[in-house]
Each structure stands twice: as C-alpha cells, then as structure tokens.
Amino acid sequence: MERRGVGPLIASAFVAEIGDPGVFHNGRQVSAWLGLVPRQHSSGGKPRLLGISKRGDAYLRTLLIHGARAVVRTACRYDDLLSRWVHDLACRRGVHKATVAVANKLARQMWAGLDHA
C-alpha cells in the first residue's frame, strides 16, 4: 500500500518503533504516543485540550512531519479528497497546523494498515 508522504524510510522506522500494533487500542493512542495530538486534562465530562506534547520518539515524529510537509506543499497539484482537505485546512488554520494534522492522519492510517495486515 502506497501513501503520499510516506516513503521506505518512514515506513521502516514506523514498523521498527511500533513493533506490535496490537499494543495500541486505536489510532489516537498511536498519535498520542508519538506526540502528534493535544494532551488532555479532562474532568467532569468537560474535555480540556492542552498543547501538543513532545512525547514519543522524536526521530519518528520528525520523519512524519517532514513527510506531511511534502503532502501540504504539493496539495494544490492534486484534486483528490486528501488534497482538498489539506488545502482547505491550510487556508483555515495555517500551514504549520495543517502539517501536524497531516502527520497525525498519516500515523493513524499507517497504524491501521499494520493492524489489519
């Protein structure tokens, strides 16, 4: 399975770091482990999302961010669903937040591909 923004280096580093994908219950746990989603401090049913944490493997997170940066940079060249979503998100929120969102999406999709393989 090929994915834009994920090459052999990122894929092999992801598989090496994750090891057993069954350790994680869902994709959000993988993203939280990598430090790609906001930390939560919730109480009484009211969720409070804090900033992006720097937990997890810095090398793998850096690779995912670089791959996502390539997807964001080239989104205007394609007309598929992902590219339209990335372009709209970059216009609404900014390029840097869109890059982290794409890295988050890539990590979740890669985990799902490992989990079902």
pLDDT along the chain (117 residues), means of 10: 84 90 86 82 77 79 94 92 94 94 93 78
Cα 82 to Cα 71: distance, rounded to the nearest angstrom? 9
Structure tokens at 28: 């959000």
User: What pLDDT, on a 0 to 100 scale, did the predictor assign at position 32?
Assistant: 85
Residue 4 carries which DSSP code?
T
Q: Are 21 and 92 in contact (CB under 8 A)?
A: no
User: What pLDDT, on a 0 to 100 scale, did the predictor assign at position 29?
Assistant: 86
User: What pLDDT, on a 0 to 100 scale, did the predictor assign at position 117?
Assistant: 56
**What's the whole-model pTM score?**
0.86
User: What pLDDT, on a 0 to 100 scale, did the predictor assign at position 56?
Assistant: 76
